[in-house]
A and B are shown apart, each in its own frame.
Chain A
Amino acid sequence: MAHHRILTANIEYDDQRQIAAYEKRGGYAALRKALALPPEQVLAEVKLSGLRGRGGAGFSTGMKWGFVPKNSGKPVYLIQNADESEPGTFKDRLLLERDPHLCLEGMIIAAWALGSRWSCIYIRGEYAYPAVCIEQALAEAYARGYLGKNILGSDFSLDIILHRGAGAYICGEETGLIESLEGNPGRPRIKPPFPAVVGLYGCPTVVNNTETLAALPWIINNGAAAYKAIGTDKSPGTKLISASGHVSRPGVYEIDLGYPLLEFLNNECGGIRGGHRLKAVIPGGSSVPVLRADELAGVCLDYESLQAAGSMLGSGGLIVLDETSDMVETALNLQHFYAHESCGQCTPCREGAHWIEKIVKRILAGRGTAADLALIESLCGQIGGHTICPFGDALITPVLSLMAKFPEEFSRLIDQGLDSLVRESYG
């Protein structure tokens, strides 16, 4: 199946990050076109395209923009979320490094539609090289009149700055990001009010993922109807899938949404690494439920199909595990991640994340009891839905789904209490 190349059309060209090459391949034509349209029409086009947020939530981008109040008298802020930190996800890094002007052009179009005059790219601190690529692209865009005062001779003026994070997963959550951008620890805020109404410095704010913004130039160039015609009815367009783990050809792939997951694994990723069998996949970054190999028949890579299968498309971070994977060890690896990344603001998450990690560690060491499994379930029940941000729900998902899908791997350790010496060495 031939897939559309909306986001990665020019990703192979080494000179693509230079503005002259970007322009030569049609770059910034969409911005010219957008600036000739009234902002309301750009917003309407994006709404019509059916584009959904690619950071993980999958919420309608046009609808999110529509929540910004008209004429509030306050500045509107647009933030590009390039804090890519969901385990298994590395797609935005590709765009930022290889086609930084695409990320900027989409952002300038969005700022025009939203009436933003000051915008910010929030990039995770570890992405030092992508940050250099974006800094250079910003300087070039200013020099060529795509940023700054009176862009392309219009009365639209926009400044974009780059803000580096400093190693906190929680800043990918939009209100944690806003707190961080205000110069604070990135502790998420209670919603409502939503950022569209009360965001950065108390002003209307839209936070959009890099991949979401990078789709806008194509949509403006080709029209909403053309975008909507790709993918499925409810999941239109293309999506970047980051494939990692036990596949022959890991990497970032752009697919039309609705592509069968098993076909994707076999045709794009070259199947499971030599001599091994597929055991499970975590399809949308580590915070979504795991699916066993026998649950994947007929499952497609789109929001609805994965939801029907009991998981989520999330960020498109597809982690593939073969039969050598120990699911209790997998649970411990991920619980350690969540325990380390909890911002510490809400008691259930702060205390529960470490507590669950300790219990899983005990089970893996062969010292668990049957009561421990019930204790994990009870703790998860106390965390889920009881925290300010979705991190609480995210942290209980891997362990609960691994226990539900691979109960024998947990109970075997508890029944026999074996292997403790070998397993002590873990971590």
Chain B
Amino acid sequence: MAETHLSPRNIPDRLEGRSARLLKSWESLLLVVACLIFLGNSLASPYFLDPWNLSDATFNFTEKAMIAFAMALVIISGEIDLSVASIIALASTAMGYAVQLGFDTPALVVVGLSVGLLCGVVNGLLITGLGLPSIVVTIGTMSLFRGLSFIILGDQAFTGYPDSFAWFGQGYIWWVFSFEFTLFVVLAVIYGVVLHKTNFGRAVYAIGNNQTAALFSGIRVGRVKFTLFLLTGLMAGLASICLTSRLGSTRPSIALGWELEVVTMVVLGGVSILGGSGTIPGVVLAALIMGMVTFGFGLLNVPGIVMSIFIGLLLISVIALPILWRRARRRLAH
């Protein structure tokens, strides 16, 4: 290999215009895919293009997407949090327990959010305080948090949530726009601004690209990472409130396997699993795609487990295809 190897990083910024880059970006590819799936769905089922059905479809992804935003930041910083689904279970169990003690809706929300936050603190302390690898720590806390809800609940279930609590998962702000969907949009904007327009966001990218360099350039790496794990915990608590309110009951197996779907959503959104790159608009599009695929398959009576095969294939192929494409182009160039 005598020729100079030009990887994107060696090329100075902005060789192409802004619009050309935007056109070739991962996000525009996702947008095309999303449009195709939307079109395919509306042709395949006559029930798809109905505002209320579409509104129902959003419940497939809003809760997962809330966590995916925070997870995107964690993965961009080069870490991972596999305990999110278990945090949902523990927060939901705590809320169920609080109902038995006679707590009312505002107190339940506080309980859910603080349990989420507390779980985030545990993860953050273990990972940044003791310097342990996040993948093993969160596999451990994944088992610990869900294990705690199993200890509390066994094979029982908590029900009997107050009527006013149902609003978070079943209520509508205006016309077909549910509370959950509105929350999803608001959070997307907040996370987009934080990641792309603030110092904190730049610090997250810097840590993901080169943690040592970030430390030497004065970024408090430990503190930023700790904050990120707090945020994922908080988002899992929020998702737990919405999910519990939507289902109206708590079992220890609630949200089982969601961590995989959340990670899939983030990776599908173009966030590199190795850290350092990715955008919030990408994650939003990935959430829409996954939601529409699930809903479309549901309308066609495809069983859930077959959808999970599709999600698994999607995860591997969205990462494999760009690699194969790059290779094919390099081969053509010679």
Chains A and B bind each other: no
Residues of B within 8 A of A (CB): none
Residues of A within 8 A of B (CB): none
